[in-house]
A = this chain, B = another copy of it.
Amino acid sequence: MSGSGSKEEPLTVAGCRFWQFPTFADQRGYLTVADFATMSFPVRRVFYISQVPEGQTRANHAQRESKELLLAITGTVSVLIDDGRNRQSIVLWRRNVGLLIAPKTLCSLSHFSKDAVLAVFASHPYDVADQVGDYDEFLSISVGNSQRL
């Protein structure tokens, strides 16, 4: 099993953190594992975002309840996260380091590289009612400084 040696940028957004996926490398290539028994929440689904045209953004909302774990399977993606108090932009590019997004965190995805495929592991079924896109409404539910994951 091989990890990345260097440190990630410190996260200041409440409840969000990096997640290291086990990776096994040998002469046959790389194998990265998402074993749901070891993850920090029960994974109900995973979806893959790809072929996002230049200039487009995705997500742009918080989830009331759902936790998500983002992994750039290939390419690079920018993730803006905001807890109502702190805001931070993270570039995902490592094949074995994901970003855990706490509930009630505003998340915006942008700057997808042409080859980018973003995997999103989610704790809940899809429910548009769980999404909060309006910023004022988001601020009303955000808890800024609490630890949520």
Contact = CB atoms under 8 A, between A and B. Distances in A.
A67 interface: no
Given A44-B35, A46-B46, A28 B74 contact: no
Contacts of A126: 33, 35
A134 interface: no
B53 A34 contact: no
Given A28-B52, A29-B58, A30-B51, A117 B43 contact: no
Contacts of A48: 30-32, 34, 73, 95
Interface of A: 27-37, 43-53, 56-58, 73-74, 95, 112, 115, 117, 125-126
